[in-house]
Amino acid sequence: MENQTMTAGDETVLYGYLAEFDKVDDLLVGAATVRDAGYTKWDAHTPFVIHGLDAAMGVKKTILPYVVFGAGLTGTTAGILLQWWTNAIDYPYLISGKPLFSLPANIPVAFETTILFAAISALVGMLALNGLPRLYHPLFRSRAFKRATDDHFFISIEADDPLFDADATRELLESISGRKVEEVEDVV
């Protein structure tokens, strides 16, 4: 606790344990171990994407692609409908003797709306699924954790994981990280 800010009167509860690594290999092994131990409410924190970590953690494949695909389809339909309704139905007018509605002329706009909808859904979907923005998080209370965006790797196990046991979990983590585990607390 010495490296955590404590303002007087702050009611705190244990959020979970935080184990620190400085080698990719150790992290991967550790992750696999935690996974095999059956923990569910835990996470690994790395400054960059580490290949194989998903497998090592057993992260499920995200549904994002389906979201984006749906949004894309919506975009296409919206694009076509917009052009058809405005130019051929609501206020039809004769332009250069051309037909009121002809797909070829509507492809560019429909295409762009497709991309637009899909792209926006990709970012927004990603953030939503990740529960971001979340400016405050108990982990940010740990000083060591600041290196998670720099050069160190972490594994955190939340206190409200069904398998969480103050001592057993600590041992597990210390065994894989080979160093002291930090207790992260949360204010209420």
Contact set for another protein, span 24-83 (CB under 8 A): 24-25, 28, 31-32, 35-36, 40, 43-60, 62, 64-65, 68, 72, 82-83
In angstroms, give the least distance from the CB of 74 to another protein.
14
**Total site size for another protein, rule CB under 8 A:** 85
CA distances from 113 to 21, 74, 104, 116, 149 (A): 45, 9, 15, 5, 36
In this complex, which beta carbon is closest to another protein, that of residue 43 or of residue 174? 43
Asked if 176 and 34 touch (Cβ cutoff 8 Å), the reply is yes
Residues 107-146 as x/- pattern, contact with another protein by CB under 8 A: -xx-xxx-xx-xxx-xx-xxx-xx-xxxxxx-xxx-x-xx
Side-chain half-sphere of 4: how many Cα atoms within 13 Å? Answer: 18
Residue 90 binds another protein (CB under 8 A): yes
- Which of these segments, 12-20, 105-113, 164-172, 176-184, binds another protein (CB under 8 A)? 105-113
Residue 178 binds another protein (CB under 8 A): no
CA distances from 147 to 21, 47, 49, 82 (A): 10, 8, 15, 50
In this complex, which beta carbon is closest to another protein, that of residue 17 or of residue 145? 145
Distance from C-alpha of 166 to C-alpha of 145, rounded to nearest angstrom = 20
